[in-house]
Structure 1
Amino acid sequence: MSQYQRILVIADPAMRRTPAIERAARLAKATGAELHLCLFDYHATIAAVGSVSEEVMALAKTGFLREREEWLDDQARLLADDGLRVQTDVIWGRPIHEKILGKVIEIAPDLVVKDVHREPALKRLLYTPLDWQLMRLCPAPLLLVNAQAHPLPRRVIAAVDTGAMGADADALNDRIVHAALQLALQCDASLHLAHAFDGLATVAMVDPHGDGQLIGEAYETLRRLRREHFDTFAARHGVAEERKHFLDGPAPDALADLAQFADADVVAVGTVYREGLERLVVGSSAERILQRLNCDVLVVKPVGFVHALSKHLGVPEELLPPAGA
C-alpha cells in the first residue's frame, strides 16, 4: 500500500489555523507527502464593484487576495520549519465547490482534508452546504475533520454494505476498504470492518402482514446469508476476527453506536450518485449515516466517479484522470 504523495488542505477563508491544517500536517509528516494548502474565496461586494468600475474592482480584488496569500505564506513557512514540503494557492471565484473540484482534478491528491464543525448543543457535527457539495462531488477521498478528534487516527472503521448486490457495489466496498486501510497505514492505526444488517425492516417490506413465525425464519435465513457474505468479504481483505463488526439494526444508528463504543477516530463511508432533477445527491443511506457520526469521516467515491460527473461539471475530458481512477 503506497504512502500519500499529495494532500490537499482546504484552508479556512477566515484565515485561521484550524484542525484540518494540523491533521494534514501530521499525516504529511508521517508519510512525506507534499501539502497543498489552498484557500478558496469570493467576495460578492468586490465583484459587484466591477459594474461601476473595473479598475476599482481590480484594486480591491488584488488587496483581498494579497492578504490571503500573505497569510498562507506565513502558514507555509511554519510548516516548512517542521520539515514539510508545502505549496500554497489562493483561488478566487464561485461556485466555491467547483473551484475546489478543479484543483482536485488538477493535482490529483491522495487525500482532501477539510474542517467540519461540531455543534455542542446538538452533540453532533454540522455539515455546511459546501461540505455536502464536496461529499457529493469530490472524486478524491475526502477527510472531514472533527476538531475534537485525535490528532492522528488510532482506529479507523470501514463501513461497507456487503448486502448490496452487483459488481458496482462490490467495487465500491473494495474502494472503501482500500481508502480506509491506506489512511490507517499512514497513521499506524488499526482498521476495523463493519456492516449493519437491518433485516427486520427488509423482511417486513417483503410481507408486512405475514405470519410471525415465517417472518422470523426469513429473518434468520437472510441474516445468515448476509453474515456469510460479510465474512467472505472480510477474509478477502485479511481483516482479523476481532476487528469484524456485524451489526444489527439501521445502519445510521448501528454505526454511530459502534463508533462511540469503539472510540473510533474515523469512519469511512462510500457514496454513490443518483441523478434527479438535473442534480446529483448523496445516497439517502449515506446521508443518514453521516448525520449520526461524531468523529472524522472519510468519504469515498466509486472508481471512475469523476468521469460520470464530468457532463454535469463541464470538465474537459482531457483534464480528467484515467478512466480507471
Structure 2
Amino acid sequence: MKLFKNILVIADEASMSDSVLDRAKWLAQSNDARLTLLDIIDASPDDLEGMFAVLPGRRARDIQDAVMAFHAQRLEGFARTLRESGVEVSTRVLNGTSFIQAIRQVLTEGHDLVLKGADQGPDRPFLRAPDLHLLRKCPCPVWILNGEARAKSGRIMATVDPDPQDRARDALNHRVMELATSLAQQEGAKLDVLNAWHVHEESTLRHSFIKMPADEIQSIISGEQTKSSQRLAHLMAGFREFGDSMRVLHIKGIAADVIPEHVDSEGIDTLVMGTLGRTGISGFFIGNTAETILNRVSCSVLAIKPEGFVSPVQLEDGEQ
C-alpha cells in the first residue's frame, strides 16, 4: 500500500536535520511520492520591510531580497541531494507564522502528509507550541520526528479506542490501523497495537461510602472488560493478515498513563495515533486524551485527524 504521494517537509533551520532528510527520502522512494521542501521565515514581509527601513535607498529592498535568496539557496542544497537519489522535489520559501503558513500550503497544494523535525533542545519539552499547533490544526496527518529518528522505524505502536457505534471514531481507528500496519510492513518494523480500557468511577465504587460488595464491583469490571475486548476484536478482524507481525495489547488503565508508559518501557520509536475531538467544528481540534499523550511522550509521533475535520486556519483571499 502506498501511504503518501504528496509530502510536505518543513525544512526551516530549527526543524531540518539529517534524520528528517533521510526519512523524507525513504518515504518518497518507498511511496513513489513527490516532496515539497518548505522554509518559513518567521516574520511577515511587512515586518522585514520595517526592520530594514533604516537602510538608505534601495539597500533595504536589496537586503530583503538577499534574505529570501539565502533561504531559497539553502533549500536547493537539500533538494539537490534528494534529486540525486531520484526523488521529485520542489521548494518554497514563505513568510509568516510557521504553523499557519504550513497549513495554508497543505490547503493550497493538497499535501497528504506533513513531515517535520521537532524543535528540540536540552531544556525544552519534545513538543513545543508551534509543533502542537500544527498537530492540532493541520487537516492532513502530521509526523513529528524526534532527534534520534532514523530513516526507518524499528518499533511502531498504534493506539486505538474502538467503538463501532461511533462512526467517526470507528473510521479513525481503521485509518490508524491502515497506516500503522502498512508502515510497519513497508519499513520492516515491529508493531504493537494498544487499547487501554478502564471502568469509570471504579475508585468511587470501591469507597466505603458506597457500600458496594466486592463481587458486584468485580462483575461490573468483568462486564466492561468483555465489552471492550469484543470491540477490539471487531476492529482487529479487518487486519488478520498482519497477525504474525503485530502484537495486540488490551491493557486496563487510563490511556493517558498506559500509552506513555508503554512507549518508554518498550522503546517505541514511532507512535501512530488519532486525535479525535469533534469533526466539522472549527476550533475543536483535538481530544483531551490525545493532548495529554502528546505532552508526555518523546518518541516520533504520527497524528491523524478524523474525516470531516475542519482546520481553523483558512486561506487568505485570492488563495486557492
Deviation of the 1:234 alpha carbon: 1.0
Pick closer, same or farther for the CA change 1:273–1:197 going to 2, 3 Å. Answer: closer
Identity of aligned residues (%): 25
Give aligned pairs, total: 310
Out of 66, 85, 91, the residue aligned to residue 88 of structure 1 is: 91
Structure 1 unaligned regions, length at least 5: 321-325
**What does 1:130-279 align with in structure 2 at a 5 Å threshold?**
130-163=130-163, 165-199=165-199, 201-204=200-203, 209-210=209-210, 211-213=212-214, 214-238=216-240, 239-240=242-243, 243-273=247-277, 279=283
Other-structure match for 1:66: 69
TM-score, length of structure 2 as denominator length: 0.84
User: Aligned equivalents of 1:196 and 1:134: distance in 2?
Assistant: 26
Specify every segment of 5 or more residues in structure 2 that has no aligned partner in the other structure, as ranges.
none
User: Residues 293 and 225 (structure 1 numbering): CA distance in 2 closer, same or farther, change over 3 Å?
Assistant: same
Question: Does 1:291 find its partner at 2:304?
Answer: no
Q: Is contact 1:172–1:270 with CA below 8 Å preserved after alignment?
A: yes
Give the TM-score normalised by structure 1: 0.83
The residue type equivalent to 2:41 in the other structure is D
**CA offset at residue 218 of structure 1?**
0.9
- In structure 1, what is the Cα distance between the partners aligned to 2:318 and 2:15? 34
Contact 1:110 1:140 in 2 (8 A): yes
Q: Does the CA contact (< 8 Å) of 1:172 and 1:302 recur in 2?
A: yes
8 Å contact from structure 2 (residues 195, 232) kept in 1: yes
Deviation for aligned residue 1:161: 1.0
Q: Please report the RMSD computed on the Cα atoms of aligned residues, expressed in angstroms.
A: 3.1
Output the amino acid matched with 2:117: D
In 1: Cα distance, 2:192 partner to 2:249 partner: 8
Tell me if structure 2 keeps the 8 A contact 1:193–1:234: no
State the secondary structure of the residue aligned to 2:234: helix
Contact 1:204-1:215 at 8 Å conserved across structures: no
More helix by share: 1
* 2:237 partner amino acid: A
Matched letter for residue 306 of structure 2: P
SS in 1 for 2:118: strand
CA distance in 2, matches of 1:97, 1:51: 27
